[in-house]
Amino acid sequence: LKPFWLKVEASAAAAPFVHMAAKEPVAEGDAEGEVSEDEAISQPLYYVSEKALEGIKTKLKNGKKEEDIKPFMDKVTDPESVPDDEMMLPVDMRGVGKEFDSIDDMVTELGLVGAAEAFVKAREYFEANKDEEPDDERPKPMTAAEWREALADEGEEEELLESEEEEMLGEEGEEEDDEQDEAEEPPAKKAKAS
């Protein structure tokens, strides 16, 4: 599966995204759209082809026919097919109103037209900037080539963090094993003495 949610650090404008994460959407009952401090630090972002998004908007206005929207949604569901020089726009998936594990899950639950409408809402939510982030700290549009490069960099960083975490867990596990061995020895010695 393609990465779906991208966690963007608000202070890391130069590094467009750091980790993948799924965050809770803004509650529908939150009329003011207030966002907690944790949500303000990271946002569930996804990048979509600008041409696909514009095509979706146009087709939604002209009758919402699934067969007309499908070619544009194909670019959204398979961003690797987007040409390198095509612009990718950030969308804030909190605007969808519900959390999904993948685009496929979204399409399954909402249908193709519903998923297309969800991406339009996500873009509108991003543009509304309810977190009131300064423009220079907000994720910027980028070419598909830049987006792929950022994803590759993020994937390498995540792998490094995972391997460091496994090393730390491995060392802790060895220490626990040593402690267990020491705890088990005295009863064995007592058994021999009797």
- How far apart (Å, rounded) are the C-alpha atoms in residues 57 and 69? 9
- How far apart (Å, rounded) are the C-alpha atoms in residues 129 and 117? 19
The per-residue pLDDT for range 18-66, each reduced to its tens digit, is 223 333 333 333 444 444 444 444 458 899 999 999 999 999 998 888 9
The per-residue pLDDT for range 134-157, each reduced to its tens digit, is 999 999 999 999 999 988 888 777
Label residue 191 by pLDDT band (50, 70, 90): low
Label residue 160 by pLDDT band (50, 70, 90): confident
Residue matched to tokens 């867990």? 169
Task: Report the sign of the C-alpha dihedral through residues 50, 55, 56, 57, in that order.
Answer: positive
Mapped onto helix, strand or coil, the DSSP state of residue 53 is helix
Rounded to a whole number of angstroms, the distance between the first and last alpha carbons of the chain is 62
- How far apart (Å, rounded) are the C-alpha atoms in residues 66 and 9? 35
Q: Is residue 174 predicted with pLDDT exceeding 90?
A: no
- How far apart (Å, rounded) are the C-alpha atoms in residues 149 and 155? 10
Q: Check if the beta carbon of residue 142 is closer than 8 Å to that of residue 87.
A: yes
Q: Is residue 3 predicted with pLDDT exceeding 60?
A: no
| β 6-7/44-49 pair status | antiparallel
Query: Higher confidence at residue 115 or residue 22?
Result: 115
Please, what is the average pLDDT of the chain?
74
The per-residue pLDDT for range 61-100, each reduced to its tens digit, is 988 889 999 999 999 988 888 999 999 999 999 999 888 8
**Burial level of 16, CB count in 10 A (0-12/13-18/19+)?**
buried
pLDDT of residue 2: 41
